[in-house]
Chain A
Amino acid sequence: MNSDSIVGKSVPRKEGRDKVTGRSQYVDDMVLPNMLFGATVRSQIARGRVRKITFSPGIPWDEFVIVSAKDIRGKNCIALIGDDQPCLAKEFINHPEEPILLLAHPDQHLLPQAIAAVSIEYDPLPAVFTIEESERRSEIVWGEDNVFKTYLIEKGDVDAIWEKADYVVEGEYTTGAQEQLYIENNGMIAAFDAANGITVWGSLQCPYYIHKALMSLCDLPAEKVRVVQMETGGAFGGKEEYPSMIAGHAALLAIKSGRPVKIIYDRMEDMAATTKRHPSRTRHRTAVSKNGKILGGEIDFTIDGGAYLTLSPVVLSRGAIHAGGPYYWPSVRIRAKAVATNAPPHGAFRGFGAPQSLFAMERQMDRIAQQVGLSPVEIRRRNFLQPGQTTTTEQVVREPINLGTLLDRALEVSDYQRKRHRFTNENQAGTKRKGIGIAAFLHGAGFTGSGERYLSSVVGVEGCADGSARVLVSSTEFGQGTKTVLSQIAAEALGLPYETVSVAQSDTLEVPNSGPTVASRTAMVVGKLVQSAASGIKQTLISSGLLREPYSVDEFRTACQRYLATHGEFRCWSRYEAPSDIFWDDEEYRGEAYAAFGWAVYIAEVAVDLTTYSVSVDDFVAVQEVGKVLHPLLARGQIIGGIAQAIGFSLYEKVIWQNGRMHNSQMTNYIMPTSSDLPPIRVFFEELGNVHGAYGAKGLGELPMDGPAPAIVNAVEDALRVHFDSIPLLPEDIMDGLNEDRLTRNKVAASSRERGVGSPGSAR
């Protein structure tokens, strides 16, 4: 790449101008003639049977369009991995807020009253609400054993290592549900006519997931289903699978009424009814040598999937594969399990299982360090994965990664050693305790294992008569910069200015299926296909004698015009092909889990106020290696944004559950960080060179979600010398932890006095 490279430059965001002027069209900004407004009647109970539905008087019911499960002409399910989740519950209810009926009316203000006037009588059944209750199986709420999915990852002979271990370190770690909290609530508009079939416009990540779900639900062929993405106001995984449900609802109302129908959730409905990050529990038992080397271990990783299968097997898989962190395990046994409860299904959220299992791993590393008597720095350094070694799935690390270098850089820019020393001294007095914590981690880019091969994504690039090029992908923009980065890649490959390339609106009528916009795969996997399709345009013009390198914009335009005059259409396609050296065994869960990993070391500095027990993050250093940084400004924005969400995950965001229902489904009482709560976040990229993605790029979107929680909790422990193994870590948890610690120490002191020995402190 030369100095004229477009890749690597912070070019203007493609849709930026529309966003800063308020011109961008989000789904709620769209109005169709004769449109109705739709709303959803949901279950009030967690589990049971619908006995009777009554439409109370006082509402002009004859003006309403009412849809129930009986109106579904296709299959009553949201087709995804399994087909267990109904689009509308017919008889059995499996979670609070489960959709039962749909209403539509021209006046949106009538809908809340109408919903309130539908009274449903139930025969309730006992329900389960936690991982532990589900495991007890006193009630079977899903399948035969409440288990959605299990995985077993085995490497080496774990059973033989325990007797060789100098230390066996055990820990149990839990993480809570987290709401994605995109600022734009979910919404869809559907329109139907017999000739064209169903069209939906909406706030969404994955047009072809919805396409598949609507074909099955409405019993329509592929060409009679069209999905169009509107500008989407944040998603973070929260608009990966649930939009299929809302699209289904809008479609059913549109089909029955013959009119366009708009469904826009309000904040409470969005928070209470749609997916969240899976709550998790991870148990570690690690065998360690006296010089701090991990010999092997057992990791039990369990997630709460909620009431239906949805994406839980895939979340579980990623969590399990990341559970060993960026460390070398000579032997390991990872048992992973997703269980059913009677909560609304948990789903995709940035990181997708990895933030949960990596929180546990990085807390466990600090615990190991304490037991062995090494520093948090040294314990990590001694166990980092090196090129040539294998991961827990026995994937050989082929990337030229040097985690030690990342660690050194993070230590240096955070001034770790000096601060740690200073805090230890200063923490003797005053009402604040300061601490500093580390997390080292990795995040696999792209679909797991054979996922990309199954997806078999297709991308197109079109040469236009005006000399511009259009990228045709179903990959969606929802803030990450998809349109900008894919345009950069295409422009670079075509040797054209950035301004001459655009990305088509994600409309299934026009764009091929380039796969879902998830899993940090867009820049790396889709970007590579865009690069190849764009090169195809260029090569076609050159090989047909219409263009010769080097060429100007004008020459490219003339060549396109000539090509179009002869052929009528000028599009090049590129389909994903798995590299031949990638091997993955779905049965044994072994092999190349990811084509590439992002690697990172994060350091958090915190202060704990001993009067209010609140934690403030005072400094945050994020060092990562993500291959070639395609757009420095966007990349930095992704990292900072991810860290902010992860600070919320660690210290603020607590879902209060009441019988499977989110009790605090408002921004007033579910607290995310504001601009006043966050420190300046310092972001550093190391580019070690990588060959996988477009121009050497790897995925980076999810990586920053993984590390902050353990770094912060490690820092809190450094400040207070008390273990905390659950997040979110709220002030009341810190107060409880300190009180418990005081009680324990008092008890130890008392029993020591009884035995006639000194306290542990005086004995040393």
Chain B
Amino acid sequence: MTDSCASRARSEISFVINGVRKTVHAYPMERLLDVLRQQLHLTGTKEGCGEGECGSCSVLMDGILVNSCLVPLLQAQGASIVTIEGLAAGETLHILQEAFLECGGAQCGICTPGMILAALHILNEKREPTMEEIREGLSGNLCRCTGYSQIVEAVAEAARRRATA
């Protein structure tokens, strides 16, 4: 949205991103994806299709897995958002990131951030997800490289590690 094409005014919109409160000055109908990438420079969130099919732009918003390409910014007002940048604690990787590395869950890497957010959502919802539940839980996120097996194995491995931690 631009000055030249938008008749609406910019607004102040505030939300918590990866635990930090932020206020952005933006158009209410801007895509959350663009605000994350362009204003907040959180480029780990990727665009694959722009129509909610591929899940590359997945983030957690108040604990719900959303496609940030389909979320108008105004809906993020007051929300708590988690992106891929919010998972590792400094140089210590999240168990899902570790498992993706070890199990071959990332090949080209473009779907990986969204896939890891979808996986996090599964782990948040299920204590011990079955392989079937993992496959179902990831089915909104497309990966063209892996054929999914090693991603599914990575999520199962992370769930196992959490259970024994």
Interface residues of A, Cβ cutoff 8 Å to B: 10, 12-13, 15-26, 28-29, 60, 107, 109-110, 113, 180-185, 231-236, 266-267, 478-481, 633-634, 636-637, 640-645, 666-668, 672-676, 678, 680-681
**Do B148 and A644 touch (CB < 8 A)?**
yes
A213 to chain B, nearest CB (A): 24
Complex CA distance for A668 and B5, rounded to whole angstroms: 28
**Do A22 and B150 touch (CB < 8 A)?**
no
Q: Which of B115-142 contact A (CB under 8 A)?
A: 116, 134-136, 138-142
Q: Which of B7-15, B72-80, B81-89 lines the interface with chain A?
A: B81-89
**Do A479 and B109 touch (CB < 8 A)?**
yes
Instruction: Return the contact of A23 from the options B1, B44, B100, B116 (Cβ within 8 A).
Output: B44
Residue of B nearest to A645 (CB): B144
Complex CA distance for A444 and B111, rounded to whole angstroms: 30
**Do A20 and B100 touch (CB < 8 A)?**
yes
Complex CA distance for A643 and B97, rounded to whole angstroms: 25
**Do A478 and B84 touch (CB < 8 A)?**
no
Q: Can you name 9 A-B pairs with beta carbons within 8 Å? A: A12-B102, A22-B42, A29-B37, A183-B46, A183-B143, A185-B47, A640-B149, A641-B145, A668-B51
Residue of B nearest to A704 (CB): B147
Residue of A nearest to B138 (CB): A675
Contact of B49 with A by CB under 8 A: yes
Instruction: Return the contact of A184 from the options B37, B84, B108, B141 (Cβ within 8 A).
Output: B108
Instruction: Return the contact of A633 from the options B5, B83, B85, B104 (Cβ within 8 A).
Output: B104
Residue of A nearest to B149 (CB): A640
A422 to chain B, nearest CB (A): 24
Max count, chain B CB within 10 A of own CB: residue among A10, A109, A235, A672: A109
B87 to chain A, nearest CB (A): 7
**Do B84 and A22 touch (CB < 8 A)?**
yes
Complex CA distance for A642 and B147, rounded to whole angstroms: 7
**Do A29 and B43 touch (CB < 8 A)?**
yes
B19 to chain A, nearest CB (A): 16
Complex CA distance for A130 and B46, rounded to whole angstroms: 37
Given A107-B2, A667-B49, A21 and B147 contact (CB-CB distance below 8 Å): no
Complex CA distance for A675 and B132, rounded to whole angstroms: 10
Residue of A nearest to B1 (CB): A109
**Do B4 and A234 touch (CB < 8 A)?**
no
Residue of B nearest to A234 (CB): B108
Q: Give how many A-B residue pairs fall within 8 Å (CB-CB).
A: 176
Complex CA distance for A641 and B150, rounded to whole angstroms: 10
**Do A636 and B108 touch (CB < 8 A)?**
no
Residue of B nearest to A180 (CB): B144
Chain B neighbourhood of A678, CB < 8 A? 147-149
B106 to chain A, nearest CB (A): 4
Chain B neighbourhood of A236, CB < 8 A? 144
Residue of A nearest to B108 (CB): A479
Contact of B45 with A by CB under 8 A: yes
**Do A21 and B108 touch (CB < 8 A)?**
no
Contact of B101 with A by CB under 8 A: yes
B70 to chain A, nearest CB (A): 12
Given A183-B143, A674-B142, A21 and B87 contact (CB-CB distance below 8 Å): yes
Max count, chain B CB within 10 A of own CB: residue among A16, A183, A479: A183
Contact of B40 with A by CB under 8 A: no
3 closest cross-chain pairs (CB), A and B? A22-B44, A233-B110, A479-B108
A616 to chain B, nearest CB (A): 13
**Do A675 and B45 touch (CB < 8 A)?**
no
A13-B101, A266-B50, A641-B146 given. 4 additional CB < 8 A pairs? A17-B93, A22-B45, A184-B46, A184-B108
Instruction: Return the contact of A185 from the options B1, B48, B116 (Cβ within 8 A).
Output: B48
Complex CA distance for A63 and B65, rounded to whole angstroms: 40
Complex CA distance for A16 and B150, rounded to whole angstroms: 14
Complex CA distance for A671 and B145, rounded to whole angstroms: 15
Chain A neighbourhood of B112, CB < 8 A? 19-20, 22
Given A13-B101, A109-B5, A674-B139, A19 and B148 contact (CB-CB distance below 8 Å): no
Chain A neighbourhood of B51, CB < 8 A? 267, 666-668
Chain A neighbourhood of B93, CB < 8 A? 17, 20-21
Instruction: Return the contact of B108 from the options A110, A183, A681 (Cβ within 8 A).
Output: A183
B84 to chain A, nearest CB (A): 4
Complex CA distance for A29 and B85, rounded to whole angstroms: 14
Instruction: Return the contact of B53 from the options A235, A666, A680 (Cβ within 8 A).
Output: A666
Given A640-B147, A667-B49, A60 and B43 contact (CB-CB distance below 8 Å): no
**Do B100 and A233 touch (CB < 8 A)?**
no
Chain B neighbourhood of A113, CB < 8 A? 5
Complex CA distance for A25 and B37, rounded to whole angstroms: 12
B107 to chain A, nearest CB (A): 4
Contact of B28 with A by CB under 8 A: no
Chain B neighbourhood of A182, CB < 8 A? 108, 110, 144
Chain A neighbourhood of B83, CB < 8 A? 22
Given A183-B108, A667-B49, A675-B135, A681 and B5 contact (CB-CB distance below 8 Å): no
Residue of B nearest to A238 (CB): B144
Complex CA distance for A478 and B37, rounded to whole angstroms: 22
Chain B neighbourhood of A641, CB < 8 A? 107, 144-147
Residue of A nearest to B97 (CB): A20
Complex CA distance for A674 and B147, rounded to whole angstroms: 8
Complex CA distance for A236 and B144, rounded to whole angstroms: 9
B5 to chain A, nearest CB (A): 6
A218 to chain B, nearest CB (A): 29
Complex CA distance for A478 and B111, rounded to whole angstroms: 13
